[in-house]
Structure 1
């Protein structure tokens, strides 16, 4: 059953809860909603109370904030943690992983945090989008051009070749992606891919962190995950054989890693 949780600014968040046990909140990345982490939640639900939610501006959640701010999404996660009992472990994928780390850096009541391929830029040798990509993305969203916003994000932020983006746009899944376009500026603000990841802030995290990546993923995502593991004090690193960024589509092995870490 879907419930509604109200964030600090009045934004209504759609939340699903399954299972029994210690609470674990799953946070998806760009183009994701609670449906895309549901299979992972099902794998974990025999041992944990699994909480999934639509991040603001996507799915069944609205967005009543005045402009885009990372703090809005941290407030949302604080509200979901409160709904889960006041303290929880967190798992995040991609920009959702960055949001989990932002929550840890903000001092939210977190037992343990696990992140899969946080979408940071780890070093200057990695390609970066132009610094105005955020402004152009928000302009496309403001103009109601969801297709253009999704195409811009995929091409310039993620680095998907133009031909591949055109193929995606012609596919059946495109409407699902375009529907999430109004929330894409949050993903960009979290990762700020034209800058390097916030090493100094990460080094102040004081909750246990597990950083995971697949050995078939993009080199930049692997580098960012390793950088998180070496920067956050006491963090652990796990490398999944044969996996890439689409691990949520094959959640069983990831669930085993998370269960072993969460205890």
Structure 2
């Protein structure tokens, strides 16, 4: 077996670090070489990016944190804000010595904010960061209804509310009765729970994290100009079939970030960075990883 094949099948090591507010943050590590921190997006954990880590592990040490509230990391705590995400990432960077960071969707916004204030970050890649510049009231106004439905134990209904509010489904969802969508979602939750491995994150267990993603999106909405302060090199990624309401942010960021490059993948969706699964049939992590390798390798040799 070659070294590359060994790394592809290697079991990542689990590590822990303490964030500024005392919250324990868990992260997986695999590979050797310059450090990259891969931050997962919404309704994901560190385990949803193992394929991307494996694709990079022959040249980089890849660290995959569980963002707070997920996996083996601690709870959100009081006064959650983007600052908590930055503090958590800073703790991992300080512990690992990594200087490269990747984020997707909600974590992409947090990574950009971190790049503003953390000198340790030298290069950043973000895939369709969830920076809302248009229709902000609709795209953030779903949280109150979501919270009520979660409080009532109606997880299926709450997930439908988030999907409709964030326009995550096909257009037909907007004209489909909510009752039917809730019923179908309930069937999916039951099927997933039946087939889940012990300790595996499911849509039901991850559903509460959506409240905090909504808080993060609302906090950072309509504020792209703050990222003009970023001095790190930034690669903006997206798919031609990605979420339409996130494309204005990519275009704006491309204009205002001083050291920036943009790549769009033909045919890829918003879910492309994640591992392929029943929940994520649009995963193309090896394609996205190839761009990370190109972008980060040039710095590693510099």
For the aligned pair, the TM-score class normalised by the smaller chain equals 0.7 to 0.9
1:21 counterpart SS class = coil
RMSD between superposed Cα atoms in Å: 2.4
Q: 1:207 and 1:16, CA in 2 relative to 1: closer, same or farther beyond 3 A?
A: same
Query: Of 202, 205, 208, which residue of structure 2 is paired with 1:182?
Result: 208
Bigger mean CA offset, 219-228 vs 72-81: 219-228
Query: Of 32, 53, 63, which residue of structure 2 is paired with 1:41?
Result: 53
Question: Partner of 1:251 in structure 2?
Answer: 285
Superposed displacement of residue 192, structure 1 = 1.7
Question: Partner of 2:123 in structure 1?
Answer: 112
Superposed displacement of residue 139, structure 1 = 5.0
Cα distance in 2 for partners of 1:220, 1:121 equals 7
Cα distance in 1 for partners of 2:100, 2:150 equals 33
Structure of larger gyration radius: 2
Q: 1:12 and 1:226, CA in 2 relative to 1: closer, same or farther beyond 3 A?
A: same
Cα distance in 2 for partners of 1:73, 1:143 equals 28
Question: Partner of 1:239 in structure 2?
Answer: 264
Cα distance in 1 for partners of 2:226, 2:147 equals 26
Q: 1:5 and 1:165, CA in 2 relative to 1: closer, same or farther beyond 3 A?
A: farther
Which deviations, in whole Å up to 9, do the C-alpha atoms of 1:63-102 show, x marking residues without a partner?
Answer: 16214222111111111111212x4210011111111111
Q: How many residues align?
A: 259
Cα distance in 2 for partners of 1:130, 1:226 equals 19
**1:111–1:208 Cα contact (<8 Å) kept:** yes
Structure 1: gaps of 5 or more residues: none
Cα distance in 2 for partners of 1:69, 1:144 equals 25
1:204 aligns with 2:213: no
Question: Partner of 1:122 in structure 2?
Answer: 133
Length-normalised TM-score, structure 2? 0.77
**1:29–1:187 Cα contact (<8 Å) kept:** no
Q: 1:4 and 1:164, CA in 2 relative to 1: closer, same or farther beyond 3 A?
A: same
Query: Of 139, 156, 159, which residue of structure 2 is paired with 1:150?
Result: 159
Superposed displacement of residue 57, structure 1 = 0.5
1:2 aligns with 2:14: yes
2:268 counterpart SS class = coil
Q: 1:153 and 1:39, CA in 2 relative to 1: closer, same or farther beyond 3 A?
A: same
Q: 1:139 and 1:108, CA in 2 relative to 1: closer, same or farther beyond 3 A?
A: farther
Query: Counterparts in 2 of 1:13-52, with a 5 A limit?
Result: 13-52=25-64
1:197 counterpart SS class = coil
Question: Partner of 1:76 in structure 2?
Answer: 88
Superposed displacement of residue 106, structure 1 = 2.7
1:55 counterpart SS class = coil
Structure 2: gaps of 5 or more residues: 1-12, 194-200, 275-282, 298-302
2:70 counterpart SS class = coil
**2:124–2:233 Cα contact (<8 Å) kept:** yes
Query: Of 10, 21, 24, which residue of structure 2 is paired with 1:12?
Result: 24
Q: 1:88 and 1:134, CA in 2 relative to 1: closer, same or farther beyond 3 A?
A: same
1:54 aligns with 2:66: yes
